[in-house]
Amino acid sequence: MGRTRTGPRPLGAAPTRYSQPAMRRSDLLDLNEALQFPGKRLVFEVETRLESEEDLDLLTPVTGTLEAVSTGSVLVIGASLSARVVLECARCIAPLEVDLDFEMEDDFQVEGVPSSWARDGQAKVVFDEPEPLFHNNHLFRDRYIRQGLLLQLPLQPLCSGGWDGPCPRAADSPAAGMEPLPGKIDLRGLLPGAGGDS
């Protein structure tokens, strides 16, 4: 007789929660259980300073939760995260502290039959990019969070007000008294509120 095929657990089943990953490296999260048992939701409490990311100036660690669940053919990863970062005002280049609260959700292809569905089965997440996000069904936590955080950064943060009026801190900025470089057009007089001939 053939082996009875076991279906996925209901999506409403209580998730398994983890505070620490199962591998020695602290930024690797073991998602193999979710992949081998479709419908089982794993929830991780995460906290990281993204220390390998030199272009980010974090005032607080990135904290929140990260979840993973497989449908059998797709691994769905979601996260709810927050952090406080330092950016530069787009007008006066003064330091600017910004609070970020953001959500992430991504789908990844799964190949193979989950081990809970077949005796010799082994599901594996597939990710074909130059910088891998996975290693043996483990997620590189910091690489994944970094991608989401960078997408949340404002393109032109302002220390106050908007573009319609003069920046209240521009006079004290290092760029306030700078002259344009030779051969460059001085556009400072075209800014709203700037002095000069009309």
Phi, psi of 19 (to 5 degrees): -105, -20
Average pLDDT over residues 92-100: 88
Residues making up the chain, counted from first to last: 198
Under the phi-then-psi rule, with left for phi > 0, alpha for psi from -120 to 50, and beta for the rest, what region is 64? Answer: left
- Asked if the structure places residue 182 within a domain, the reply is no
Decide if 73 is inside a domain.
Answer: yes
Say if 59 falls within a structural domain. yes
CA distance 66 to 191: 44
> Is the residue at 197 inside a domain?
no
SS3 174: coil
Instruction: Give the whole-angstrom CA distance, residue 103 versus residue 105.
Output: 7
In a domain, 1, yes or no: no
Q: Is residue 187 a part of any domain in this protein? A: no
Q: Which domain holds residue 31?
A: 16-166
According to the model, what pLDDT value does residue 129 have?
Answer: 81
pLDDT digits (tens, 9 = 90+) for 154-195: 888 887 766 676 666 665 555 544 444 455 444 445 555 554
pLDDT at 171: 58
Number of domains the chain is built from:
1
CA 123 to chain centroid, in Å, comes to: 25
Identify whether 181 is part of a domain.
no
The secondary structure of residue 115, as a DSSP letter, is T
Q: How far is CA 78 from CA 104, 136, 182, 183, in A?
A: 5, 19, 51, 50
Say what the pLDDT of residue 55 is: 74
Mean pLDDT is lowest, of 37-46, 73-82, 187-196, for: 187-196
- What confidence tens digit (pLDDT) does each residue in 56-67 have? 889 999 999 999
In terms of Cβ atoms closer than 10 Å to its own Cβ (0-12, 13-18, 19+), residue 98 is middle
Q: Is residue 174 part of a domain?
A: no
